[in-house]
């Protein structure tokens, strides 16, 4: 760890805690004042750190915070992308500590957004501050920090197209992923795409007494259960016609390379408190969560769910479904295939409405680029060993957008862990990871400038 990080680590953590206390939930309009507060906080910290031209840029939705430092036009330029919005904290009763009151336990920070993505995004601001204070910034840097990643970055595309001149650069640098462990660093070189759907099934025109009408009309909840159950077979294979037609099939050699990443299945099951893993036949757990597509029910509701009993046949039933996609699958095409298949499964007497919320394109990042090599060298210097390239099961839809609109590849230097429980109660981020991330990011700039000479 550099001297500056060591001397200022308590302040860095205190500032991060202030940011984590802001409940900047993007999916709920009630939190709009907190979205604005978080954007203002970040803009202020960028200015303090030494950025020029810091702006809170309005969009049709939540603002983008932009800032830059151009030290020499002949040097390479890095765009730092991150997001300050967070997932809802629900269910609140499953948190051991208040989600928006950061708490340190076992050398980790527990709070919503600690790892995804406030903690990891803030590492870049502090690395920038450190380089500015010590006069070691070796590249130009531009910050693009948004407030809508958790709802699909719906307005970022317009922002990028409007600000293309400002966003001229050589590479995008992102920390919104993870690594294998603190002892085994890794760089994410692949992301799955995403198709996020919602179903609304309608039966009778009102809720009905289940005694008077039961057995005579279709129950939307029963129908919904049947439809959802039919989307996968007992082996975890998705039944949508055409779903697998364009799925990338890796060679045995490529799969063998992936298998070299350390993985303890027993520890994995113990950490999740499950007796047995589940997934598509013929693939390992790591393959199922990275190179294979998936379909999962994220929520379903309808009827009476209060305390006690209410004998009712509901008028409506709902579900939310996400599908993670792999290279060559189009989220628009998969969304259409999903809708058609669901419509074919719905029984007579039930009307269905299928809504596509948002999606993203799968991405694979080249490992033979100067940008990747700079990240590799940075991890090697910081951790004392070279990182392993891995594919992530998650989705960051804007990575494909950056390539399409700006012609830029992204380098994903993540420092989170699988155990960080992102999107879940008791999300956390290790203090070691936070500080080591700042150090490694600084080293990326050093190695990138050297390699680009």
Distances (CA, A) of 20 to 4, 25, 123, 324: 23, 11, 13, 28
Alpha-carbon torsion angle 285, 289, 294, 298, nearest 10: 110
Contacts of 190 (CB under 8 A, 6+ apart): 290, 291, 327, 362, 363, 364, 365, 390, 391, 392
Tokens of residue 109, six digits? 């920070």
> Using an 8 Å Cβ cutoff, are 240 and 339 in contact?
no
Cβ-based neighbour number of residue 380 at 10 Å? 16
Tokens of residue 396, six digits? 């960051």
367 closest CA partner among 188, 169, 177: 188
Residue 188: beta bridge partners?
A: 390, 412
> Using an 8 Å Cβ cutoff, are 222 and 214 in contact?
no
Which residue in this structure is represented by tokens 């050297």? 450
End-to-end C-alpha distance for the chain, whole angstroms: 26
Question: Which one from 117, 149, 377, 442 is the annotated catalytic residue?
Answer: 149
Active site residue 149: yes
* 81 backbone dihedrals φ, ψ, rounded to 5°: -110, 140
CA atoms in the 13 A half-sphere facing the CB of 414: 29
DSSP 439: H
Size (the chain), residues: 453
What is the rounded CA–CA span in Å between residue 344 and residue 13? 53
Cβ-based neighbour number of residue 242 at 10 Å? 12
Question: Which one from 85, 148, 176, 442 is the annotated catalytic residue?
Answer: 85
* Active centre residues (catalytic): 85, 149
């Amino acid at each position: 760890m550099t001297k500056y990080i060591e001397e200022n680590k308590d302040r860095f953590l205190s500032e991060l805690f202030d940011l984590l206390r802001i409940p900047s939930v993007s999916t709920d309009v009630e939190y709009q004042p907190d979205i604005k507060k978080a954007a203002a906080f970040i803009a202020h910290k960028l200015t303090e750190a030494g950025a020029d031209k810091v702006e809170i840029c309005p969009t049709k939705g939540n603002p983008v915070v932009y800032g830059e430092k151009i030290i020499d036009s002949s040097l390479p330029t890095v765009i730092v992308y991150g997001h300050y919005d967070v997932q809802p904290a629900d269910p609140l009763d499953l948190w051991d500590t208040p989600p928006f009151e950061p708490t340190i336990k076992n050398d980790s920070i527990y709070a919503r957004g600690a790892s995804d993505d406030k903690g990891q995004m803030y590492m870049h601001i502090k690395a920038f501050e450190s380089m500015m204070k010590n006069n070691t910034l070796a590249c130009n840097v531009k910050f693009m920090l948004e407030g809508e990643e958790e709802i699909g970055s719906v307005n970022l595309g317009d922002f990028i197209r409007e600000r293309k001149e400002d966003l001229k650069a050589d590479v995008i640098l992102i920390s919104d992923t993870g690594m294998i462990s603190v002892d085994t660093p890794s760089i994410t070189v692949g992301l799955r795409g995403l198709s996020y759907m919602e179903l609304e099934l309608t039966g009778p025109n009102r809720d009905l007494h289940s005694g008077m009408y039961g057995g005579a009309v279709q129950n939307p909840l029963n129908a919904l259960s049947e439809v959802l159950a039919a989307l996968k077979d007992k082996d975890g294979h998705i039944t949508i016609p055409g779903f697998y037609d364009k799925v990338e099939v890796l060679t045995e050699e490529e799969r063998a390379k992936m298998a070299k990443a350390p993985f303890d299945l027993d520890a994995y099951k113990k950490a999740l408190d499950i007796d047995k893993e589940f997934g598509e036949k013929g693939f390992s757990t790591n393959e199922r969560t990275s190179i294979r597509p998936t379909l999962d029910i994220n929520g379903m509701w309808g009827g009476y769910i209060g305390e006690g009993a209410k004998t009712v046949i509901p008028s409506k039933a709902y579900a939310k479904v996400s599908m993670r996609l792999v290279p060559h699958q189009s989220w628009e095409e998969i969304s259409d295939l999903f809708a058609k298949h669901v419509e074919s499964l719905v029984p007579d007497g039930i009307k269905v409405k299928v809504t596509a919320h948002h999606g993203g394109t799968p991405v694979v990042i080249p490992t033979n680029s100067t940008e990747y090599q700079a990240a590799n060298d940075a991890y090697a210097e910081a951790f004392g060993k070279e990182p392993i390239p891995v594919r992530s099961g998650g989705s960051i839809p804007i990575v494909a957008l950056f390539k399409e609109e700006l012609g830029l590849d992204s380098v994903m230097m993540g420092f989170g862990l699988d155990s960080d429980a992102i999107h879940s109660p008791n999300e956390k981020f290790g203090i070691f990871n936070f500080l080591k991330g700042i150090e490694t990011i600084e080293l990326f700039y050093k190695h990138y400038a050297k390699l680009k000479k």
